[in-house]
Amino acid sequence: MLTIGVRGHDVATDVSLETLAEAIEKTEINYIQFALGISMPEFASEAVISPGLGSQIKQIFENKAITIAILSCYINLIHPDEEIRQQLLNKFKAYIRNASTFGAKIVATETGGVDAEIHYTEKNYTEEAYQKVLSSVKQLTAEAEKNGIIIGIEPGINHPIHSLELTERLLKEADSSNMGIILDPTNLIRWNTFEHYNEILAEAFQRFGKRIVALHVKDFIVQDKRIIPAAIGTGKLNVRDTIQQLEGLKPGIFTIFEETQGSQIESAYQLVKKALGNQK
């Protein structure tokens, strides 16, 4: 069965870690993607993160049978200010060095954008932007290889790595077994391609399925020629077909709910369990 997880901050925010762990326990989901910068921003800097902090947080969650599957460190890999970019890369390296103390084997990020504030722009789609991503990724994979950690790169149309073709190219040219892909098909569809969601998912696994280390699953609606993320079960996503497709492609893979919060988590989890049950 797929290894289902949630983002910690989708369960609760502005609460203690103990309260967060109790809230996650009630969902009956045992794996999380943990964003220190959202759940505990005062402890998220390079200067503060440490093995002791990671060990304490890991223990709080383990007391409730919860595992940190993925540690989030979403940064702009190609920030236009080179000094800031290097500071961000150094922060990510600190997360790599400490990830195992949190119990995580994957540290996740998207690839950023040519502007300081990340948004959709086709300026991200240049060869220059790609080469900057590659350079940053190579810095990070060198650190990951020293520490036995996987860098989870998440492609999306708002970023330089915006297609399956470029994702495949990055995997080849980064040339590191410590780089994997966190795949979220919703981040790769457009208003006029959303009907091909499951085909995109299948093609991704055909191209680089061995390197996909986790999935993000969220629903979506189409509005004003835009894809608007939504809670699972509230939009156009065929949840049953998608979950069954994932189970057939890579059973056991971390499958993290996104844009699904509070009471929506229970209904989404029931949909997923029903879809998996329908296969038997």
Whole-number average pLDDT of the chain: 97
Token pair in block for residue 226: 């835009």
In this model, does residue 278 exceed pLDDT 80?
A: no
* pLDDT (mean) for 173-198: 97
* pLDDT (mean) for 256-279: 91
Amino acid code (one letter) for 51: P
Structure confidence at residue 1 (pLDDT): 87
Structure confidence at residue 6 (pLDDT): 98
What DSSP character marks residue 163? S
Q: Which residues have a Cβ under 8 Å from the Cβ of 184 and sit 6 or more positions away? A: 154, 156, 215, 216, 217, 218, 258
Structure confidence at residue 23 (pLDDT): 97
Structure confidence at residue 160 (pLDDT): 98
Q: Could you tell me the domains of the chain?
A: 3-277 (3.20.20.150)
116, exposed or middle or buried, with CB in 10 Å at 0-12, 13-18, 19+?
exposed
Q: 7, 33 in Cβ contact below 8 A?
A: yes
Per DSSP, which regions of the chain are E strands?
3-7, 31-35, 67-72, 106-109, 150-153, 179-183, 212-217, 219-223, 226-230, 254-257
Query: C-alpha angle 231/232/238, rounded to 5°?
Result: 135
Q: How confident is the model at residue 280 (pLDDT cuts 50, 70, 90)?
A: very low
Please state, in angstroms and rounded to a whole number, the distance separating the CA atoms of residues 104 and 150: 9
| DSSP tally for the chain: helices H, then strands E | 10, 10
pLDDT tens profile 203-252 = 999 999 999 999 999 999 999 999 999 999 999 999 999 999 999 999 99
Structure confidence at residue 135 (pLDDT): 98
pLDDT tens profile 128-156 = 999 999 999 999 999 999 999 999 999 99
Say whether 190 sits in a helix, a strand or coil.
Answer: coil
Q: How confident is the model at residue 279 (pLDDT cuts 50, 70, 90)?
A: very low
Point out which residues pair with 67 in neighbouring strands. Answer: 31
Write out the H or E segment, with its range, that includes residue 147.
helix 127-147
Token pair in block for residue 254: 């971390």
What pTM did the predictor assign? Answer: 0.96
Structure confidence at residue 261 (pLDDT): 96
